[in-house]
Amino acid sequence: MIFQRIQRRNFCRYLVFCFMLAIFGWAVESAGPAEAAPASAPSGDVKKDSRPAVKPKLKSRQLSGIGKYQVVRVDAEGVYPRNLNVEQGSTVIWFNATDRYISVVFSKGDVLNRVTRAPTLFFLAPDGTYVSAAFGSGATASTAFARPGTFYYFVTGLPVSDGEAFAQVVVK
C-alpha cells in the first residue's frame, strides 16, 4: 500500500513537471525578438545608457555536409569505394566486412587530427599517424571531415601487393 502511494506521488510529480516544461517551452518558442526584448522603462527619471550598442555575434557558417555520411566497405577484396568524395562536415564510416581485425591508417596524422571532428576509434599515434584502433568483423570506425583536402589512407589486414588496401578521401 505504501509503495503504491509513493508511485502515485512520483507519477503526479512527473505529470506536473511535464506540464510545466510544456508551458515553459511553449512560452519561450512563442516569444519572438520583439516580445523577448525587455519592457520599456517606466516614465519618470530615466537615465540613458552611454555604452555603445553591442552587435549580436553572427552565427558561424554551418558546414554543408553536417548530418551526411558515407560508408566505406572493407572486405577481403579491398576497400570500396577507393576514391571517396564528400562535402565538408560529412562523416565517413568504415565498415569491416572481413573475418579479421583491421585498422584504418592515415599517414599525415597531425593534419588529420586538426581537420577531423568527433572521431570514433581514431587517435593520433606516437609515430605521427592518425589511426583507428583495431576493430573486428561487423564493427565500424568513423570520423567527420571539417576541412577540404585529399587524404590518403590504407587499411591494415588486407594484402598490400594488389594495392587494394590503399584509398583516399577527397573533401570538397
User: Tell me, what CATH number does 159's domain have?
Assistant: 2.60.40.420
CA-based nearest residue to 87, from 145, 153, 141: 145
pLDDT for the residue 46: 54
Please indicate, yes or no, if residue 54 is contained in any of the structural domains: no
pLDDT digits (tens, 9 = 90+) for 60-98: 566 666 778 999 999 988 999 999 999 998 999 999 999
Residue with cell 564528400: 86
CA-based nearest residue to 155, from 92, 90, 72, 69: 72
The helix/strand/coil state of 166 is strand
**Do 82 and 155 have their domain in common?**
yes
pLDDT for the residue 35: 45
Q: What residue numbers bound the domain in which 115 lies?
A: 69-171
The helix/strand/coil state of 52 is coil
**Do 13 and 95 have their domain in common?**
no
* pLDDT < 50 regions, the chain: 21, 26-41, 58
Please indicate, yes or no, if residue 73 is contained in any of the structural domains: yes
**Do 163 and 84 have their domain in common?**
yes
| In contact, 93 and 135? CB cutoff 8 Å | no
Please indicate, yes or no, if residue 48 is contained in any of the structural domains: no
Residues 6+ apart with CB under 8 A from 96: 74, 102, 135, 136, 137, 138, 139, 140
Report how many domains make up the chain.
2
**Do 80 and 159 have their domain in common?**
yes
Please indicate, yes or no, if residue 110 is contained in any of the structural domains: yes
CA-based nearest residue to 98, from 121, 122, 74: 74
Please indicate, yes or no, if residue 43 is contained in any of the structural domains: no
Burial 139-151, CB ≥16 within 10 A → b, else e = eebbbbbbeeeeb
pTM of the model: 0.63
- Pairing state between β 149-156 and 103-106: antiparallel
